[in-house]
């Protein structure tokens, strides 16, 4: 997917069908590779708070469950049930996808090609601006409600 725009990518949805990045053109999107059996799994709670806080202003938070680091449940159905019961998530979620290596989803291959960023663990975050360009990336240690993440999101939301 050399030099394809990040907004040209689609993801299989955890609920069936597809999630088209182009549907969110003009909106900032925070893409987070997640895992249900990781020490950082509690970040789902803050991701939902972040989504609830900013969605009316246009922010999309996209969770990308991944077993790349061998900490995801066995099926998309198990992930969806876990996230519903434990965290009440209603943000968009993809099916379970690889996020690094030769079989990484095209979104992550494109991010690597354009910025050199590769998730080093679960709950790495990529913020795309309303223009579809990478604004900033964070590792797992950066909490979703951290000042750094919120400041970058607010900056994107205030660009109108």
Do the domain assignments include residue 40?
yes
Do the domain assignments include residue 42?
yes
**Closest listed residue to residue 6, CA positions, set 17, 21, 18:** 21
The pTM assigned to this predicted structure is 0.95
On the question of pLDDT at 4 being above 70, the answer is: no
Confidence of residue 5 (pLDDT cuts 50, 70, 90): confident
Do the domain assignments include residue 148?
yes
Do the domain assignments include residue 1?
no
Do the domain assignments include residue 106?
yes
Q: What is the pLDDT of residue 6?
A: 86
Do the domain assignments include residue 47?
yes
Do the domain assignments include residue 118?
yes
- The mean pLDDT value for 29-57 works out to 96
Confidence of residue 101 (pLDDT cuts 50, 70, 90): very high
SS (H, E, C) the chain: CCCCCHHHCEEEECCCCEEEHHHHCCCCEEEEEECCCCCCCCHHHHHHHHHHHHHHHCCEEEEEECCCCCCCCCCHHHHHHHHHHHHCCCCCEECCCCCCCCCCCHHHHHHHHHHCCCCCCCCCEEEECCCCCEEEEECCCCCCCCHHHHHHHHHHHCCC
CATH of the domain at 126: 3.40.30.10
38 is catalytic: yes
User: Of 38, 64, 83, 96, which residue is the catalytic one?
Assistant: 38
The per-residue pLDDT of the chain, averaged, comes to 94
Q: pLDDT tens, 51-86?
A: 999 999 999 999 999 999 999 999 999 999 999 999
- The mean pLDDT value for 132-145 works out to 96
Q: What is the pLDDT of residue 160?
A: 60
- The mean pLDDT value for 119-147 works out to 96
Q: What is the pLDDT of residue 16?
A: 93
Give me the percent of the chain exceeding a pLDDT of 70.
97
On the question of pLDDT at 9 being above 50, the answer is: yes
- The number of folded domains in the chain is 1
Mean pLDDT is lowest, of 4-8, 98-102, 116-120, 137-141, for 4-8
On the question of pLDDT at 144 being above 90, the answer is: yes
């Amino acid at each position: 997917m050399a030099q394809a725009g990040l907004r040209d990518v689609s993801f299989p949805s955890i609920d069936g069908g597809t999630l088209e990045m182009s549907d969110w053109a003009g909106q900032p999107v925070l893409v987070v590779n997640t895992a249900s059996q990781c020490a950082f799994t509690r970040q789902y709670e803050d991701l939902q708070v972040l989504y609830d806080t900013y969605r009316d202003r246009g922010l999309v938070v996209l969770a990308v469950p991944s077993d790349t680091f061998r900490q995801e449940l066995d099926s998309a159905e198990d992930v969806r049930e876990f996230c519903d019961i434990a965290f009440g998530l209603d943000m968009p979620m993809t099916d379970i996808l690889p996020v690094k290596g030769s079989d990484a989803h095209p979104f992550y291959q494109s991010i690597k090609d354009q910025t050199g960023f590769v998730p080093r663990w679960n709950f790495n975050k990529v913020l795309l601006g309303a223009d579809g360009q990478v604004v900033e990336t964070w590792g797992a240690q950066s909490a979703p409600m951290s000042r750094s993440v919120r400041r970058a999101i607010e900056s994107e939301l205030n660009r109108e």
